[in-house]
């Protein structure tokens, strides 16, 4: 049962469309996934159907399919993402080579969508203030093989103070009252109240102020929520524009969404295959400046050099960063990290263990191939056994990249007859 106060407001907002909205809540939810272009060729999946109109890599899939259990999911070939949630990045329109910030990024759907559009070029900062959710964000960045992302667990005020004018584009997918997710998440219904709406609106305005500092003049800011409340949507944007005369709403042409003002759109579940969403596109005016970049980096150890030569690994332009014994490869434009709570400064390469190099799972998922490879079919017993953590047959000796139908999934170390399994214990099933 939906809250009466919510229903009365929706009736006032929608007028004669209100019955259609109620009917849309009774139909089965449209479920979707987004292919990850960083993994190479798009997989041919029998359960994938119609394309999501506003995302070229987004597809609806059969409601009785379970793509989260398919080995391709563990390979990072796709991300399960609600179709309307793909709209904000479509309007952000990230480009390869840019500096982009996803300010409220967990669990990582929009961050990995941005990364796919960047095609491995440029710098991406993915931030989440909740430590628990930031960990999930970091895991999804790893699973989808994103190498050019810095994952932080920071408050937005500190980021705005530390990195003023650093980014070409900033996405604020703000924490909200979740009214657009009522059909999807029962907790969104039980947690809802008019006080929650007001509290979320106050928090959103603070986050937007911090986001404004991060963006360079000439850059694009996209604000989105998954709620219908005007206090959290049009009113929040109007208050922001009143406080920030250097910003203007940007008039963009989007045929699939309902326009509710210059640069502002609503996604209604009775008008498309998706849940409720709101998106606003803003532009920061003024003279462009070139922000400072931290050029410092550490030297790659000889153990890495030997492993990379053995496996035929060539890293993109970047710089080495060490956190204890763990070695990362960071984007060359990564800013100074001192004073920031960092979960992942870039691509995790591996660990130094008493003069030996132990490759990271993240490195395997980033690679598309290697000199030493052991490949299995997705529906084979070997793949099931590997994901379970068992020893699997192989004629390969030494370290090898384990692949499923041509997609990397992890590491193994062979003796010429079997592979010692190096699939992470926390991921085994």
Active site residue 226: yes
Single out the residue of 116, 110, 105, 104 nearest to residue 148, CA to CA: 116
Q: Where is 242: in which H helix or E strand?
A: helix 234-243
Rounded to 10 degrees, the C-alpha dihedral 293/298/300/301 comes to -170
- CB-hemisphere CA count at 13 Å for 43? 26
DSSP for 359-413, written as a single string: E-HHHHHH-S--SSEEEE-TTSHHHHHHHHT--EE---EEEEEEEETTEEEEEEE
Please state, in angstroms and as integers, the Cα–Cα distance from residue 368 to each residue in 164, 271, 425, following that order.
36, 40, 23
Inter-residue contact 223 to 280 (CB < 8 Å): yes
Contact predicate 47/33, CB 8 Å = no
Q: Of these residues, 75, 200, 226, 400, which one is catalytic?
A: 226
- Separation CA 5–CA 202 (nearest Å): 20
Backbone dihedral region for residue 147 (phi beyond 0: left; psi -120 to 50: alpha; all else: beta):
alpha
The two structure tokens encoding residue 290: 């070139």
Beta bridge partners of 30: none
- The candidate with the shortest Cα–Cα distance to 201, out of 243, 235, 244, is 235
Which residues, other chains included, contact 377 with Cβ-Cβ below 8 Å and sequence gap of 6+? 383, 404, 405
Active-site residues: which are they?
226
């Amino acid at each position: 049962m939906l809250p009466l106060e919510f229903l009365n407001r929706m009736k006032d907002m929608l007028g004669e469309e209100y019955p259609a909205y109620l009917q849309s809540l009774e139909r089965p939810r449209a479920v979707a996934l987004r292919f990850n272009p960083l993994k190479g060729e798009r997989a041919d999946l029998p359960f994938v159907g119609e394309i999501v109109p506003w995302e070229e890599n987004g597809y609806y899939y059969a409601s009785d399919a379970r793509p989260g259990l398919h080995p391709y999911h563990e390979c990072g070939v796709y991300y399960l993402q609600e179709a309307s949630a793909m709209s904000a990045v479509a309007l952000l329109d990230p480009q390869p080579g840019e500096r982009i910030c996803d300010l409220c990024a967990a669990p990582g759907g929009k961050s990995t969508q941005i990364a796919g559009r960047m095609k491995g070029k440029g710098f991406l900062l993915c931030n989440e203030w909740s430590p628990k959710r930031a960990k999930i964000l970091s895991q999804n960045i790893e699973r989808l093989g994103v190498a050019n992302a810095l994952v932080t667990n920071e408050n937005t005020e500190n980021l705005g103070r530390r990195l003023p004018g650093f980014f070409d584009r900033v996405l604020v997918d703000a924490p909200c009252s979740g009214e657009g997710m009522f059909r999807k998440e029962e907790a969104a219904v039980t947690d809802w109240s008019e006080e929650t709406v007001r509290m979320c609106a106050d928090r959103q305005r603070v986050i937007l102020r911090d986001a404004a500092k991060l963006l360079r003049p000439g850059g694009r800011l996209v604000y989105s929520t998954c709620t219908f409340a005007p206090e959290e949507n049009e009113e929040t944007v109007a208050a922001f524009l009143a406080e920030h005369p250097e910003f203007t709403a940007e008039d963009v042409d989007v045929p699939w969404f309902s326009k509710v003002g210059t640069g502002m759109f609503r996604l209604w579940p009775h008008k498309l295959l998706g849940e409720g969403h709101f998106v606003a596109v803003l532009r920061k005016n003024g003279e462009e400046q070139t922000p400072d970049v931290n050029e410092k980096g550490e030297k790659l150890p000889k153990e890495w050099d030997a492993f990379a030569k053995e496996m035929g690994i060539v890293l993109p332009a970047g710089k080495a960063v060490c956190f204890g014994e763990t070695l990362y490869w960071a984007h060359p434009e990564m800013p100074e990290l001192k004073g920031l709570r960092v979960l992942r400064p870039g691509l995790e390469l591996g660990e130094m263990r008493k003069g030996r190099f132990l490759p990271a799972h993240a490195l395997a998922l980033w690679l598309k191939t290697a000199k030493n490879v052991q490949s299995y079919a997705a529906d084979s017993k070997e793949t099931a056994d590997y994901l379970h953590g068992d020893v699997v047959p192989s004629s390969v000796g030494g370290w090898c990249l384990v692949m499923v139908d041509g997609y990397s999934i992890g590491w193994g170390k062979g003796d010429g007859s079997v592979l010692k399994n190096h699939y992470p214990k926390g991921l085994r099933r």
